Structure 1
């Protein structure tokens, strides 16, 4: 797909608002780390807290990603709502901690799938502080499909929605 340039890009604050909104609505994201040789991605349940300028994850003390983050703390988080053609990306600095109060605060019943309770000593907190954000946001699947069909017939690049990048 060709990227199109915007004559009137959205104001940075609107883009930041939309990045946070999509991250909150979509929940599961792909967390990508760097091993020093290759990127590694895995799905994680994100707990975005805009008022704290952080995205939190509960993770296990023995996770391979922990060593990646300690050596190379810059990570990427990607959310995809394929059914609605909405995507968000955040890159930022990550750190692993044993903040028991924050772990308890973030705990949900779904976490019982991985741990017995929030007191489990193997739980760690992964915190990502955003530095850059990007969105790809389309009106809806029907409109996008029609625009792609028209583009295929006319040989032009479809305008599928907004793409914007912002420093957070």
Structure 2
């Protein structure tokens, strides 16, 4: 059995931050008007206090060029180990804000960029327009036990939360 819990404002931002704490890897889909979508993995750098998501990107990437034409994107996160899932639809703004680059920069990014002054470096700032989550209430062992008990007894078991996340 699922419990629907729709969250708004700061509660929604806090829930997204909690879901991203253990899983910053998203699959980002662009070119949403054509099939197949263009999809690539992206690492979330931050969800800020306003609920905006931040990513580093290369100006030479396909998704960078696509987002210059159409700002819409879809992000999906899956943390299978903790049974946490998040779907986000939003719009990206491309920026080269030096202060934000300095704030978010990590030496791990040098795998893709030659430092924070790399002329190919840019940031994506995603404004969330629609989000939905699925989250197990209990750890995996408890969830499996509850599901097995439900299968044996026929009683419904409350194993996860789900709902919309509205940050506006």
Same fold per superposition (TM over 0.5): yes
1:12 lines up with 2:8 in the alignment: yes
The 3-state SS of whatever aligns with 2:22 is helix
Task: Name the structure where helix makes up a greater proportion of residues.
Answer: 1
- 5+ residue gaps, structure 2: none
Q: CA deviation at 1:141?
A: 0.9
1:84–1:71 CA distance, 2 compared to 1 (3 A) = same
Q: CA deviation at 1:62?
A: 0.8
Relative contact order, CA 8 A, sep 6+: which one is greater?
2
For 1:166, the equivalent position in structure 2 comes to 165
1:33 lines up with 2:33 in the alignment: no
Distance in 1 between residues matched to 2:63 and 2:7, nearest whole Å: 35
Q: Tell me if structure 2 keeps the 8 A contact 1:22–1:88.
A: yes
The 3-state SS of whatever aligns with 1:67 is helix
Distance in 1 between residues matched to 2:160 and 2:3, nearest whole Å: 11
Q: Tell me if structure 2 keeps the 8 A contact 1:15–1:134.
A: no
- 5+ residue gaps, structure 1: none
For 1:96, the equivalent position in structure 2 comes to 94
Aligned residues: 164
Distance in 2 between residues matched to 1:18 and 1:53, nearest whole Å: 10
Shifted more, 121-130 versus 144-153: the winner is 144-153
RMSD over aligned Cα atoms: 2.4
Q: Tell me if structure 2 keeps the 8 A contact 1:87–1:135.
A: yes
The 3-state SS of whatever aligns with 1:84 is coil
For 1:145, the equivalent position in structure 2 comes to 144
Give the TM-score normalised by the residue count of structure 2: 0.82
For 1:117, the equivalent position in structure 2 comes to 115
1:50-69 to structure 2, matched below 5 A, reads 50-69=48-67
Give the TM-score normalised by the residue count of structure 1: 0.82
